[in-house]
Amino acid sequence: MRTLSLVIMGVAGCGKSTLAALVASELGLQLVEGDDHHPAHNRQKMRAGIPLTDEDRAGWLDSLVQLLRDNPGGQVVTCSALRRLYRDRLRAAVPDLRFVHLEIEPEEALRRVSSRGSHFFGPGLVESQFATLESPAQETGVLCLPAVDPPEELAAQVATWLR
């Protein structure tokens, strides 16, 4: 299999981190948790229940772009990548970048986010994520999967797709 980088994307609560960890382990790639790279002001806004704007996300996306460029050996990155503009910005760093979109219904995402406890992203922001989401279903290099399927099955599907 050739070297690659992959973004696991979707709204909050879809299971990005769980799937990314499984896929990174399966493929022997570095795992980058996108949330770890949000600047403090983004985290403060989200803790306060204020949705991020494109301007807020710009620096965060720049950080992820740099991480993608700095690791040509391949990696698995978690990133909501809600808008095509954001995905294209990431693709600019790695032209053959692939995306796995975990699709989930708003009610299930809200249930999952509500059960997370102390995460900085609260349930009040779930609706804004769905409002921002532009489906990547028709884009090249995107695999859309149902987030409610067992993570192990999803990881196997991703590995097969990439091979």
Q: How far apart are CA 75 and CA 2, in angstroms?
A: 12
Confirm whether 13 is domain-assigned.
yes
Confirm whether 149 is domain-assigned.
yes
Confirm whether 1 is domain-assigned.
no
Return the CATH number at 100. Answer: 3.40.50.300
Confirm whether 56 is domain-assigned.
yes
At 114 the pLDDT is 82
Confirm whether 128 is domain-assigned.
yes
Confirm whether 143 is domain-assigned.
yes
Confirm whether 29 is domain-assigned.
yes
CA distances from 35 to 31, 32, 60, 141 (A): 12, 9, 9, 23
Q: What is the pLDDT along the chain (163 residues), one digit of tens a residue?
A: 456 899 999 999 999 999 999 999 999 999 999 989 999 998 888 888 888 899 999 999 999 999 999 988 899 999 999 999 999 999 998 989 999 999 999 999 999 988 876 556 667 788 899 999 999 999 999 999 999 999 999 999 999 999 8
Q: Are 52 and 45 in contact (CB under 8 A)?
A: yes
The total domain count for the chain is 1
Q: Taking Cα atoms as reference points, which of 56, 52, 77 lies closest to residue 66?
A: 77
Q: How many residues does the chain have?
A: 163
Confirm whether 124 is domain-assigned.
yes
pTM of the model: 0.92
